[in-house]
A and B are shown apart, each in its own frame.
Chain A
């Protein structure tokens, strides 16, 4: 019908080629633009006030280090990993970050994302920053340091004083050496404070046992899901023991709190009183909650009087608390590891760690000198009690599996999906575990080739 002349076609092609070239020409290189000898390092973190507060520390740092500029980039929690992976793929990697998303240290390490910091650490003494040596060791592989601890969270028990008063029960102790405070005693207390009712406005539960991630929970009962070599070979279990009698018994006990003892809320109840990620303890309908100590930061917002106590003594005498030590990493692709390390060291100084407590709204410093200030940061809770609970938790603590096991986000997802039926009461733990065992083995074979 229509005749297109050759000329117009060529013109169109020419025009489009030109357009692409102009775009490319006006583009400035995405490298680190530096005038003279200043370098810019990027600190990548989660977009939430308790992480982005480091922006407020930058002016002071830059004044002390005139040759270093710090830029903070951020992403929401759910997208943290995607953005990190994309920027690494595009050779646009940040210099300093942490495993703030779903993945953990071992995952980063095994993907070859982390720089070995050992050469940078000439003259670096953990004691100068009051970091306990064993905490430093968490992020060492074969004696080389891949991460420097920054914050350390532990597992604590929070309890609702109002509900304890109403039931006429004594408050649980803060001393880990008080061996009368046992798991069974906790269940006994919980029974007295439970109102198991289908009417959600009347229902009230004694305890919410959120101890570690799902695959770590049996550890509290002295049963190990993963073989011992996991902790020494880079987080790759040679064996998983989900069908071992003691592991099965541990899971039976954990979910028995909901369905046999009926002292713990069902997931449906928790969701309905607290939303998707919320903590049901905040609703005031849970008497005791075993959780990560980050829940303490919200203590001023509670509608009731809150206390903090020791995690009760379970069947495992050695491990009563999960430690979540958040490190800082320097990425392998960092163009300025030396300057990045200066920034990390600055963040660890006693003075900055103390300031960070206030600025972040209550992040627990790894620097033990700054820790004292942290203990007195919570209104209505006695600093001495918090100190005692933290020190006990360190003494009887084990690092969270998500930092130690490779490809943890996939493993965790498997546990969440496969245990959902057990958590909702559709099946028994003993029925679900053999299937999980098989799937987990297949997954590990696939990812740890």
Chain B
């Protein structure tokens, strides 16, 4: 250790302690979630709550999958199907539209873009019923399709995000591509998309999380138990005013339901953070 390093030691130690405290504060709810998930029904109501359960009730996790009222496994699968297809739909449609807005100038393209952005101002409840009518008339009620199809028609927020990214790509790139004989579609597919990794990671994570957490539209469209998604199942656990909520099962379910988010974030983290940084640069 040289002198300079020794000089820095107190401030480094302080920084380390601050970071440690913040981390603990962030992790505390998660730890408590795990603690509750491992408690028996009787113990979860004990006050003051204990951090470490007397008996580890691992059976709560078994109960989630075994209980025929909850159907956790099926709901998990449904949620994954909807989320994965929503990501695919959002990425393809939004990037295509964003590419158009970013690369081509035409009369009224600015106005069109404003029009797309203005749809951001419509809250979901405003379009809820008309959209519900549309899908019901198409006979798609009580299937996962109404939850997936809208994402194949672009999402204004993602289009905006991607367009901003695409406009930062140098025009010379495209000139070079054209000289090499690329079709317009290949300019999008083979040139733009590979370069837009960070932005696409951002879009994927956002659309996955939105779809994964969505509760209202699945509730509207789905009638049959076998089509239910995870948020419906978890909301249902708290539905009864007439009995104690099974907090322990709910926390076990919550833990398992955060897994995909953690996984997708871990996979895309580097690119995601890059994406946030890059989209901030003009």
Measuring CB to CB, which residues of chain A are less than 8 angstroms from any residue of chain B? Answer: 1-2, 23-24, 26-30, 46-52, 71, 73-79, 82-83, 85-86, 89-92, 200-201, 273, 275, 277-278, 282-285, 294-295, 297-298, 301-303, 361-363
Contacts and interface: CB of A to CB of B under 8 A. Distances in A.
Given A76-B232, A294-B242, 8 more contacts: A29-B139, A46-B240, A48-B242, A50-B243, A52-B69, A78-B239, A86-B132, A284-B45
A274 to B, nearest CB: 8
Contact of B220 (A24, A49, A83, A278): A83
30 contacts: A1-B104, A23-B138, A26-B139, A28-B139, A29-B139, A30-B137, A30-B141, A46-B240, A47-B232, A50-B240, A52-B69, A74-B236, A76-B238, A76-B239, A77-B235, A78-B239, A79-B235, A82-B220, A85-B129, A90-B132, A90-B141, A273-B47, A283-B45, A283-B47, A295-B242, A298-B244, A301-B42, A301-B244, A303-B42, A361-B242
B239 A47 contact: yes
Contacts of A74: 225, 236
Nearest to B224: A73
Nearest to A45: B239
A86 B135 CA distance: 12
Most chain A CB atoms below 10 A, which of B48, B136, B215, B241: B241
A217 to B, nearest CB: 18
A363 B240 CA distance: 12
A27 B232 contact: no
A27 to B, nearest CB: 3
A70 to B, nearest CB: 13
A76 to B, nearest CB: 4
Nearest to B145: A23
Contacts of B240: 46, 48-51, 77
* A-B residue pairs, 7 tightest by C-beta: A27-B139, A76-B235, A48-B240, A294-B242, A47-B236, A48-B239, A77-B239
B46 interface: yes
B133 A90 contact: yes
What is the interface of chain B mostly: helix, strand, loop, or mixed? loop
A200 B48 contact: yes
Nearest to B132: A86
Interface residues of B, number: 37
Interface string B222-259: 01010000001001101111111101000000000000
Contacts of B215: 76, 79
Most chain B CB atoms below 10 A, which of A74, A78, A294, A361: A74
A352 B36 CA distance: 37
Contact of A48 (B45, B236, B247): B236
Given A2-B184, A76-B232, A200-B48, A86 B129 contact: yes
B45 A303 contact: yes
Given A277-B241, A298-B244, A30 B136 contact: yes
Contacts of B48: 200-201
B264 interface: no
A31 to B, nearest CB: 10
B47 A86 contact: no
Most chain A CB atoms below 10 A, which of B45, B104, B129: B45
Most chain B CB atoms below 10 A, which of A48, A82, A297: A48
Contacts of B137: 24, 27, 30
A203 to B, nearest CB: 10
Nearest to B215: A79
B270 to A, nearest CB: 35
A409 to B, nearest CB: 15
Interface string B185-224: 0000000000000000000000000000001100110010
B80 to A, nearest CB: 20
Contacts of A29: 139
Contact of B141 (A26, A47, A77, A92): A92
B269 interface: no
Nearest to A294: B242
B128 interface: yes
B41 interface: yes
Given A27-B139, A89-B129, A201-B48, A79 B242 contact: no
Contact of A86 (B128, B239, B241, B244): B128
A200 to B, nearest CB: 7
Contacts of A28: 139
A2 B140 CA distance: 39
A187 to B, nearest CB: 24
Contacts of A302: 45
Most chain A CB atoms below 10 A, which of B220, B238, B244: B244
Contacts of A46: 239-240
A301 B184 CA distance: 67
A297 B235 contact: no
Contact of B136 (A49, A90, A277): A90
Contact of B47 (A50, A51, A85, A284): A284
Contacts of B47: 201, 273, 283-285
A69 B135 CA distance: 25
A2 B256 CA distance: 50
A277 B45 contact: no
Interface string B120-159: 0000000011001100111111000000000000000000
A83 B219 contact: yes
Nearest to A49: B69
A75 B219 contact: yes
Nearest to B231: A76
A378 B9 CA distance: 65
A26 B139 CA distance: 8
Contacts of A23: 138, 140
A266 to B, nearest CB: 15
Nearest to A283: B47
A45 B277 CA distance: 48
A308 B128 CA distance: 46
Contacts of A303: 42, 45-46
Contacts of B245: 275, 277-278
A273 B220 CA distance: 33
